[in-house]
Amino acid sequence: MSSFYALGLGVGTQNSDQEWLEVFFPHPLLNPSEQTVACFVRVLGEQNDNCAISMTGEQLASLSQTLEESGETELALIARNLQDSLRPIVAVLLKDNTGPKTVPEGYLKLHLLSHRLAKPHTVTLDGLFGVLPNVAWTNEGAIDLKELPSRQLQARLQGKTLSVNCVDKFPKMTDYVVPKGVRIAHTARVRLGAYIGEGTTIMHEGFVNFNAGTEGKSMIEGRISAGVMIGEGSDLGGGCSTMGTLSGGGNIVISVGRECLLGANAGIGIPLGDRCTVESGLYVTAGTKVSLLDDKNQAVEQVKARELAGKSDLLFRRNSLTGAVECKTNRSAIALNDELHANN
């Protein structure tokens, strides 16, 4: 039997046309064992492509028994519990890591990221925006926007208020996954599909998009845009931002290395190496003209910031007298020039 990329049993929400709005996967699996895959295939049949299959109570009972007999007790228990669900159940089997074609496939991939089973840029999400519906996220769960007015009226007639928390394609992560060892002050600011490393603190103004996140212990008070990863021990100050591929970064993959500091209201449009600092209020884009200073504060040359992408131990600052953007390093002029032009 061929290997599978990922697999999951989920319970979700459908609209009145039985179209999926969202799916919760309590125990997603990346690279499931052949034994686990065989259990699903025995109940659901051989699959030739990535698929999402709605399951009946009888199928869940059969799957639970098959998994139990194979020693897959945790997944067997989940299948058994899902038999009594009032919501629709779906099994998602991904033979390969290609872009999702259905809502359940997309949600399984987002779960893989937020469960820390896969890191950003390793999960193919091509076409995800076109697959996921725009949904009203309410105190009664996900509601199709076309059905929202009637649901609001029903609630009022019962003396209740239907609270719409947001209207978006992505729900907040913590309604699906709460990773171990994190602090998140404002949960609505972290989307499902974020990868939040253990030890990370996200303060009230911090934001983390899907397919982005932190490697480990970090303090986040700024914005981590889609596709951006923050290295261990880095600090993003209040109001700072990182330019993602969805916000004008093009194909450049923005990242922040280990032990970096982005000051309050700073921003970057280039990847940073380790131990870099961007002073408060300074936004460094790829085309920003930067005057290079060596370890004696002597100007070496002027370059565009893209030429410094990924290099470590840099301090970006604005000259208070001239307004010019400067980059200070702990290297001598000769060493600095050698490193700067090594890859040219």
DSSP class of 42:
H
CA dihedral 119, 121, 123, 125 (to 10 degrees): 140
**Single-letter amino acid code for the residue at 222:** G
Question: 17: which 2 tokens?
Answer: 């046309």
221 flagged as catalytic: yes
8 Å CB contact between 260 and 231: yes
Number of continuous H segments (helices) and E segments (strands) in the chain = 7, 27
Q: How far apart are CA 181 and CA 103, in angstroms?
A: 29
From the candidates 22, 72, 105, 221, give the one annotated as an active-site residue: 221
The string of DSSP letters for 26-54 reads SS-EES--HHHHHHHHHHH---SS-EEEE
> Residue 147 CA to chain centroid, in angstroms?
29
Cα–Cα nearest to 243, from 235, 253, 233, 234:
253
Q: How far apart are CA 213 and CA 229, in angstroms?
A: 5
DSSP class of 6:
E
Catalytic residue list:
221
